[in-house]
Amino acid sequence: GQNIDQPTEMTATEGAIVQINCTYQTSGFNGLFWYQQHAGEAPTFLSYNVLDGLEEKGRFSSFLSRSKGYSYLLLKELQMKDSASYLCAVRDGDYKLSFGAGTTVTVRA
């Protein structure tokens, strides 16, 4: 099975940086995804890591360490619209995604 942990909530100020950590213990690993989800909407893809290291994509970056079962999502230059839930998801060998409970990020002015 899959066990995916991430913090429940985080608060940060507009323009700041926030790092959301995700640790996982899985029976199979075929990539780690980060999604953004606004209330009442479907998740939207943010990033994908399958090899160790940092993937940068504009204001968002994601890091993976497979040996440590650890990933983080870094959000830079926070904007009010970044207030949302951020989901860490691990894909197994059958291409199924298991999601963490999500981290609610609140951006304050």
Residues that bind other proteins (CB under 8 A): 31, 33, 40-45, 48, 50, 87, 94-102
Q: Please, which residue, 69 or 85, has the CB nearer to other proteins? A: 85
Q: Which is nearer to other proteins, 75 or 89 (CB)?
A: 89
* Minimal distance, residue 87 CB to other proteins, in Å: 6
Instruction: Specify the 3-state DSSP secondary structure of 41.
Output: coil
CA distance 29 to 26: 7
How far apart are alpha carbons 7 and 87 in whole angstroms? 10
Q: What is the DSSP letter of 31?
A: -
Cβ 42 to other proteins, closest distance in Å? 4
Residue 1 to residue 10: CA distance in whole angstroms = 27
CB of 14 to other proteins, least distance (A): 24
